[in-house]
Amino acid sequence: MNKLRKTLFIVLTLSLVLLVGCAGDNSKPPALDTPETQTAGVAPDQDGASSAPTPSDQGETAPIFITFEGTDLDGNTVSQEIFSQSKLTMVNVWATYCGPCLSEMPGLSELAAEYDPAEFQLIGIVSDVMEGEDQSLVESLIQETGADYLHLLANDSIGQAILSSVSGVPTTFFFDGEGAYLGGVVGSAEKEKWEEIIHGLLEEM
């Protein structure tokens, strides 16, 4: 696991020059499931890239796991158990107002279709639309961008576990098949750059 995290650190560091997002600053590791965690706001008013957390490469560190429960656009319940369905899960947090988010979604859809789901899966989280709210805009944007992979709507559980760690969108997190957090990036990237990251992670697994 430590070697895998070091690989992620190197790959993500090399990727940062190409990243563009709707807000700056750094993201943090997804929050542990504690009552003190609060949902962070996502600012839409800045362009630019910034790095997300990279696990320390100094000795073994305890893995970070999250727990959450949400619903997809069809009302189906999804929890952290979904991570066990694939060796590597990419969680892409986006917003309906975020141009860079929408721009990268066609490439993300292609990625999701190219991999065996048992090897790699992609999950989108809509950060600015809550469960129970009108989701027609979300559905329209997904159709326009061809992003026909799984998407979850925001709720308190997802807010505490994941969105509280987001300072800008898009933010992307990676988890292994046991649900352990591997690292992440704030900002969008071209399909080829994501392929490089995903390939590097899968090679180490």
Q: Is a pLDDT exceeding 70 seen at residue 51? A: no
Task: Write the pLDDT tens digit of every residue in 169-201.
Answer: 999 999 999 999 999 999 999 999 999 999 999
The whole-number pLDDT of residue 4 equals: 56
Lowest mean pLDDT among 40-44, 117-121, 146-150, 159-163: 40-44
Length of the chain: 205
Q: What is the C-alpha end-to-end distance of the chain, expressed in Å?
A: 8
**Structural domain of 58:** 2-204
The two beta strands, 120-130 and 88-94, are parallel
124 pLDDT band (50/70/90 cuts)? very high
61 pLDDT band (50/70/90 cuts)? confident
Average pLDDT score over residue span 64-68: 96
Number of domains in the chain: 1
The whole-number pLDDT of residue 205 equals: 86
**pTM for the full predicted model:** 0.79
Q: Is a pLDDT exceeding 50 seen at residue 16? A: no
Residue closest to 147 by CA, chosen among 199, 196, 102: 102
Q: What is the CATH number of the domain that holds 63?
A: 3.40.30.10
Q: How far is CA 166 from each of CA 27, 144, 162, 192, rounded to the nearest angstrom?
A: 5, 25, 7, 24
Q: Across the chain, what does the average pLDDT equal? A: 81
Q: Is a pLDDT exceeding 80 seen at residue 39? A: no
Distance between CA atoms of residues 182 and 155, nearest Å: 23
- Cβ-Cβ contacts under 8 Å for 42 (sequence gap 6 or more): 22, 23, 95, 127, 128, 163, 166, 167, 168, 169
The whole-number pLDDT of residue 62 equals: 86
